[in-house]
Structure 1
């Protein structure tokens, strides 16, 4: 059963938020400069999300991609020249950031490379089971999804394509990406 959420206070209005932000940075010029840099960057970034592959090396319970039939809805494009042309067209149209998802993008690094060649900001979303090479991908961001870590990830995500289970998914992701400056971990929350 869902737990009702009670919001004690109403969200700040735009005017109140601006006033509160001004208060917070008034005595912190370092924060003010960081905020201004982020705002400038935010105005300059034009992003898109690209489904790079229909293939994945696991079958997470509740995966929207496979359970929703997206893996079979579109024919997979593997021609690198066409992928490069698509990435070039995005750049020509003013897109400068792509989030590459799948399936599992680490299974197709040459396709990721096609976007790295054309766009300055790339993020891949991965389950962490396979490491993304560093050489040639030094400036990408890697978002490793976790569902709670340890046994919970094993229960919900450590499922091979053939349906058999394995253990150590979270530990494997940590091993592959420990102290990798490109990585951030995305923690997925469920109602439970």
Structure 2
């Protein structure tokens, strides 16, 4: 379904592809780095999906009928993950986030984190997880070097959790959040996808969770992906959420954000934690995007909502030189568009289901 751009260029010769990348750079002398696009955005943040598998079946992420998973032989090995990461770090990436599927289902996760932390110039290794097995794994992950932890949780009600995720486990996730706080992850970031008529009645409850816990609740606008039956009527916008919170806390205050932050930070004064909003639909942040993604089967996606992909896995397995790999990456990055197509257009575009992209 997802035809690799690499296959096209590999078929007509790697030199031609390298030449094209060089021509793009020559025409734009300010765009020298392979990780800088034609709009001057330098990408220092790489998200790597480690697996397509997940031990949940969340309704907004995976189609009810499931998805066709790649054969194990087509997924990146641990060595390939580290090799790709090393290449990007050499070019300026200083933060890597491990995603899935669910990254904790990979048995070599601890080794991957340990080897990533050896890379000179890499400052942060983060992970997004559903939190189901953190009470068993987090101590080992922290010892391996895991710096930042995001835990996905869309409800504070156990019965609703089972409805949303089609699995049990809410209590284990809450214990995982508490363990992360005990181990010194401050803040623990909690990702909550908000959907109208689904869990938007819990927005205030999530904010209240920041009173005594140093958590960063990150409300995420519902986004369209293949198979998740996205409807604009289910979208709860950033402004709607803020207005709802201000009805209870009129002193709810915006905080200063970094230049590449995806989350707009807010806080209830005197509360221990804070709140953030990821506004991909109502107020996109494409102009400051510094993120690239590697799927579990080794494809480079320069935009979450784009459907053009380049297979780094195939390049590596065909013994592509490092220079040609960089040319491949550079040409892909320099095709990155100024911004995504808008939520109504995105909902009509072919793309992978979220679980096959990486959260």
Query: Alpha carbons of 1:96 and 1:57: their partners in 2 closer, same or farther (altered >3 Å)?
Result: same
Contact 2:127 2:146 in 1 (8 A): no
- 2:334 match: none
State the Cα deviation string for residues 116-149 of structure 1 (Å, max 9, x = none): 3322212211111011433424542111001112
Q: 1:154 aligns with which of 137, 162, 166?
A: 162
Offset of 1:112 from its aligned partner? 3.4
Offset of 1:90 from its aligned partner? 1.5
- 1:104 match: 102
Q: Report the 3-state secondary structure (helix = DSSP H, G, I; strand = E; otherwise coil) of the residue aligned with 2:92.
A: coil
- 2:76 match: 77
State the aligned residue count.
Answer: 141
Partner Cα separation in structure 2 for residue 66 and residue 112 of structure 1: 32
Q: Report the 3-state secondary structure (helix = DSSP H, G, I; strand = E; otherwise coil) of the residue aligned with 1:188.
A: strand
Contact 1:105 1:112 in 2 (8 A): no
Q: CA RMSD in A?
A: 2.9
Partner Cα separation in structure 2 for residue 129 and residue 47 of structure 1: 26
Is 1:175 matched up with 2:183? no
Partner Cα separation in structure 1 for residue 128 and residue 64 of structure 2: 15
Query: Which structure carries more relative contact order (alpha carbon 8 Å, separation 6+)?
Result: 2
Contact 1:65 1:71 in 2 (8 A): no
Offset of 1:62 from its aligned partner? 2.5
Q: Report the 3-state secondary structure (helix = DSSP H, G, I; strand = E; otherwise coil) of the residue aligned with 1:184.
A: strand
- 1:140 match: 147
Query: Alpha carbons of 1:137 and 1:127: their partners in 2 closer, same or farther (altered >3 Å)?
Result: same
Give matches, 1:1-192, under 5 Å.
46-64=44-62, 69=67, 71-72=69-70, 75-78=74-77, 80-108=78-106, 109=109, 110-118=111-119, 119-131=122-134, 132-135=137-140, 136-150=143-157, 151-159=159-167, 166=168, 169-178=169-178, 179=181, 180-182=183-185, 183-192=188-197
TM-score, scaled to structure 2: 0.35
Offset of 1:191 from its aligned partner? 2.0
Contact 1:65 1:103 in 2 (8 A): no
Contact 1:71 1:103 in 2 (8 A): no
Offset of 1:55 from its aligned partner? 1.8
Partner Cα separation in structure 2 for residue 104 and residue 48 of structure 1: 17
Partner Cα separation in structure 2 for residue 148 and residue 57 of structure 1: 17
Runs (4+) off by over 3 Å: 64-74
Query: Alpha carbons of 1:62 and 1:69: their partners in 2 closer, same or farther (altered >3 Å)?
Result: same
Contact 1:48 1:97 in 2 (8 A): yes
Partner Cα separation in structure 2 for residue 154 and residue 174 of structure 1: 14
Instruction: Indicate the larger mover: 173-182 or 121-130.
Output: 173-182
Q: Report the 3-state secondary structure (helix = DSSP H, G, I; strand = E; otherwise coil) of the residue aligned with 1:133.
A: helix
Instruction: Indicate the larger mover: 81-90 or 105-114.
Output: 105-114
Contact 1:49 1:101 in 2 (8 A): yes
Partner Cα separation in structure 2 for residue 112 and residue 66 of structure 1: 32
